[in-house]
Structure 1
Amino acid sequence: MPPILVTAADAAYYTGRPVGTIWRWASEGRIDRYGTGKSVRYNVAQLPAKTVDEWTGKVTLGDPPRLPEGARAA
């Protein structure tokens, strides 16, 4: 199955995190980057989805993607 690719803004909305976090995860190797420059896209399957409680509206963030072996967080 081919990856479902989204922009950094869409990835940020999906995860409930800032766009800068998506960029950092990609630079750390936690998620793959497809394309270059302004056409970069990210695979939704690699992103932790946020959940929203329909009664209270409380947002719960998923665990961040794992760092690759031997990598260090920014």
Structure 2
Amino acid sequence: MPELHLVTEDLAAYWTGRPASTIRRWGIEGRVTRHEDHSQRRNGIRYDIWELPAAKRDDNGNVIERGPAPPIASTPAAQAA
């Protein structure tokens, strides 16, 4: 099994070039896996960076193209929502 590389919501947002609210929504919709970090008192949710689509950036770090949205999981729970 591949090793997880868990990052905070803010780092996930930077990686994808999208707002943090989009990362939260993707987690709720089942597009990406939410990992709970019980060692954190506040916002203990982490995301595996390898699950997230990377944004394309220029040499200065500016977003050229945001990472594409992952597909919605096709589980019965996701379909019922």
Query: Which band: TM-score by shorter chain?
Result: 0.7 to 0.9
Runs of 4+ in 1 over 4 A off after TM superposition: none
- Offset of 1:63 from its aligned partner? 1.2
- Offset of 1:53 from its aligned partner? 2.9
Choose from 40, 61, 66 the match for 1:61: 66
Tell me the amino acid that sits aligned with residue 66 of structure 1: P
Choose from 31, 43, 64 the match for 1:38: 43
Give the aligned partner of residue 10 of structure 1: 11
Task: List runs of 5+ in structure 1 lacking aligned partners.
Answer: none
Q: CA RMSD in A?
A: 2.3
Distance in 2 (alpha carbons) for counterparts of 1:58 and 1:15: 9
Tell me the amino acid that sits aligned with residue 68 of structure 1: A
- Offset of 1:58 from its aligned partner? 5.4
- Offset of 1:68 from its aligned partner? 1.0
Is 1:19–2:20 an aligned residue pair? yes
CA contact (8 A) 2:33 2:48 kept: yes
Per the normalisation by structure 2, the TM-score is 0.76
Task: Count residues in correspondence.
Answer: 72
Per the normalisation by structure 1, the TM-score is 0.82
Is 1:48–2:21 an aligned residue pair? no
